Structure 1
C-alpha cells in the first residue's frame, strides 16, 4: 500500500482527500498543513504541521515519513490577493513548489501538483491538456511558472488542472461559489453575478478521487479535471437557486468589467476531459449530482 503525503490538508480539497483515504483504505496518509489539524477525525493517519514556506521544516517532514507520493494542494488561490501581493503569491505558488520538486527528486517521490484553468486566457475554451497556456492574471502566471518547474523534474510527476472547486467540510476556512450563492439567497440578499464568464464547476470529491487515481496509476503528464457541465457563472447560480428552491429574482446579472476586480479573469475556460476519463478512469458528477452530494452532507455538517 502506497503512502501519500498531502500539503494543505486543512483546505477543502485536503480534507476531502483525508476523508476519502480514511473511508476507502486504499492508501496510507500523512496529512500536513500550516497550524493545527482541523480535520475532525484524528485516528487512522498521521498529521504533521508543515509550513510550505519553511524549506527546513518541509525537508524534515518528508525525510521522516518518506512518502511514495506527494499531493500538493497548498497554494494561494485568491486571484485578486495574488495580484495585490505578488511577492507572497510567488513564494507560495512557485518557490514552495521548487522546494517540493527538489525533495521529490532526492527521494524518488511522485509529485501530483494541483493547477488551474486560469493558466489559459479564456479566448478559446474548453481546453485540452496540450493547448497553449496564456494567463491573464498574476495568479495564472504563478501557476504556469510552477507547472514549468514540475515538467523539468527528474522524479515522476503529474499536473492536475481544475476549475471552480465547490464542496463543504465541517470547518470551512472560506466559502466557494455554491455555498456563497446559497447562503446569500437564503438571507434574501440581492447578489451580483457575472454573465460573461463560462466554467465547468468541480465537486471537491471528484477532484480528490482524480488525485488518488493519479497516484495509484503512476500517472505522468497533465490531466484536466472538472465537472462535466459547461455553464456561465450566472447559469450556475440560477441552478443553485433552482435546486434549493430559492428566489431567482435576487440574482442580478452584471458584466465582469462592472465589478472592477483587481485581477482579470479568463472569459471561457472549461476542459475536454477525455484524457482523464480514458487514462485514469475518472468519472465526474454532473452539477445536479454534485449539489445533491452537498445537500446530503449538509444534514450532518450543520
Structure 2
C-alpha cells in the first residue's frame, strides 16, 4: 500500500495524488477525499461544494477535453481510466499536456482552465469528481473545449479514437490554434477613488487581471447591488472602501454611517467571499488601539477609543472569520487626496504658520507603499491573517512631520509651532479621541518578505511628485 502523496505534473497547479488503498479478500477501501491529510500533503484547500459520479460500462468510452470554470478533484472509484489534461489557460504553459493511467490508488486535482479528458480501460469503470462551484446551464457557458484528436498536443490514447465511443459534440471541438485561452480570475478592488484605491490602480499590473470600482459603481452598503455581482469570475476582493470621517463618526448620523459601512456592509461582503471561497483583503487602522502602548503588534488586543475605531475593530473581527483573509493594519495614510501632508504643504505655500500636535506619535503610511505591500502579500505564500503595514523609520510626532514638509518644500520649519492634543482641542467641538501612540510593529510583514521604505524617503518622493504634478 502506497503512502498518501501529492506530486506535480509539469502543468502548473495540476497535481497527481497517490492514495493508500486497503485491500483484502472482500475488496478494497480508500479515503477518496480527506481534507486535513490531503491539504497537509500539499493539495490546495479548495473546499468543494458538489460531488458528481460518472459510470461507463464498456472500455473505450472517451470524454473531453473540457476545461471548466472551477477547480475539481477526480478519482477512480472502480476500474481504470487513461486520463489526459491540457493547459488551456492564458500564459506560457498554454497547450502543455500530461497523461497517465488512473486506478483506485490515484486521483488528480485539476485547476480551473485545465482541460480534462479520459478514456475507460476496463468494463464497469466509474469515477467521481468534486467541484468548487454548483453546476448550472449558465455555468456551462464558461466551458472551454479542445479536440480529443488535436494534431499539436497528440495525446496517446490507448484505444484509437476511431474505435472508441465518443460523443458527436466531443468530435467537433476546436484544434488548439482555434482555442481562446482561459483568462485568470480577477482581483476586484472596491473603493477605487480613495487614496489606496488610486495607488492600487497605479501599482497593479495592466494585464486585465484587476478590476477597479468606485462607490458610485458599487455601494457595498446596498445589499441589492452586492447581490447582483457575479463573483464567479473573481479570486480576490480588496476592500479599500470605508467610512473614514473620524470626527463625524462621533455624531448621531456619522455613527450610523460608520457602522453601516465599516461593519454591516463588510459583514455582507465577508459572507460573499466565504461563499465563493475568495480571498478578502481589508484595510484596518491604528484607531483600533487606545495608544497606551508605545508599539502595537498584530497580536495585541483591540481597544478603540472612539466610534470610528470601534467600527474598524468590529470590522476586523468580521473579516477574520473569512477563511482566506488579510487584514492590513496601517496608520497615518498619505496618498492622492486629502491628507495631513497635503494640508501642511498647502499651508506652507499659502504663508500660514500652523500649530501642530506634538504628543501623538506614529509613522506615515504612503498609499503607494501600502499598495505594493498588499500586492506582495497576494503574490507570496504569506499565511492568511493580520499584518501591520506602514512605512519604516523612527516614530515621530505630527509636529515633526509638518516641520519636515515645510523644510523639504524650502520653507522655514520654525513656522510650525508645537501644541498639545488638549490645547488643540480647545474650542473645537466634536473632535474624536485619537490614540497617543500609533506605531505598528513591522516584524511580521518583514518576515513575509516585504521591506517597508523609510517614511521620510517616501515623503521626499511624494512632495517632489506633488510639486511637479507628475
**TM-score scaled by structure 2?**
0.57
- For 1:115-194, list aligned pairs within 5 A: 115-153=284-322, 155-168=323-336, 172=337, 175-194=338-357
SS in 2 for 1:259: helix
Q: Which residue is 2:404 aligned to?
A: 239
* 1:122-169, Cα deviation, whole Å (9 max, x unpaired): 01121110011111111111011111111122x31110000111123x
Indicate the residue corresponding to 1:30 in structure 2.
Answer: 211
Gaps of 5+ in 1: 36-48
Alpha-carbon shift at residue 65 of structure 1 (Å): 6.1
Other-structure match for 2:391 = 227
- CA, structure 1 residues 235+2, in 2 after alignment: closer, same or farther (shift >3 Å)? farther
Q: Does 1:107 align with 2:291?
A: no
The count of corresponding residues between Structure 1 and Structure 2 is: 279
Alignment-derived partner of residue 7 in structure 1: 190
Q: Is the 8 A contact 2:218 2:226 kept in 1?
A: yes
Give the distance between the partners of 1:29 and 1:117, measured in 2 at CA.
28
Q: Partners of 1:262 and 1:299 in 2: how far apart?
A: 31
Rg larger for: 2
Cα deviation digits, residues 161-211 of structure 1 (max 9, x gap): 00111123xxx3xx1111111110111102121011001101111100111
Cα contact 2:266–2:315 (8 A) shared by 1: yes
Residue 2 of structure 1, CA deviation? 5.1
Which of 261, 264, 269 is the equivalent residue of 2:438?
269
- SS in structure 1 opposite 2:187? strand
The Cα offsets for residues 15-73 of structure 1, whole Å up to 9 and x where unpaired, read as: 110111146x5x711111122xxxxxxxxxxxxx1012111212223x15631000101
1:290 aligns with 2:458: yes
SS at match of 1:70: strand
Greater relative CO, 1 or 2 (CA 8 Å, sep 6+) = 1
- 1:217, CA displacement in angstroms? 2.6
Q: Following TM superposition, by how much is the alpha carbon of 1:81 offset from its aligned partner in structure 2, in angstroms?
A: 1.2
Structure 2 contact 232–276 (Cα < 8 Å) conserved: no
**What is the aligned partner in structure 2 of residue 77 from structure 1?**
244
Matched, 1:208 2:391: no
Contact 2:231 2:276 in 1 (8 A): no
Find out whether 1:53 has 2:221 as its counterpart.
Answer: yes
Q: Which residue of 2 aligns with 1:249?
A: 414
Q: Distance in 2 between matches of 1:147 and 1:58?
A: 20
Post-superposition offset of 1:294: 1.3
In the alignment, is the contact (CA less than 8 A) between 2:190 and 2:213 conserved in 1? yes
How far, CA to CA, are the matches of 2:307 and 2:385 in structure 1?
23
C-alpha distance in structure 2 between counterparts of 1:123 and 1:115, whole Å: 18
Aligned mates of 1:195, 1:243 — CA distance in 2: 19
- Name the one with the larger helix percent: 1
Q: For the aligned residues, what is the CA RMSD?
A: 1.7
Which of 200, 203, 211 aligns to 1:20? It is 203
TM-score between the two structures when normalised by the length of structure 1: 0.87
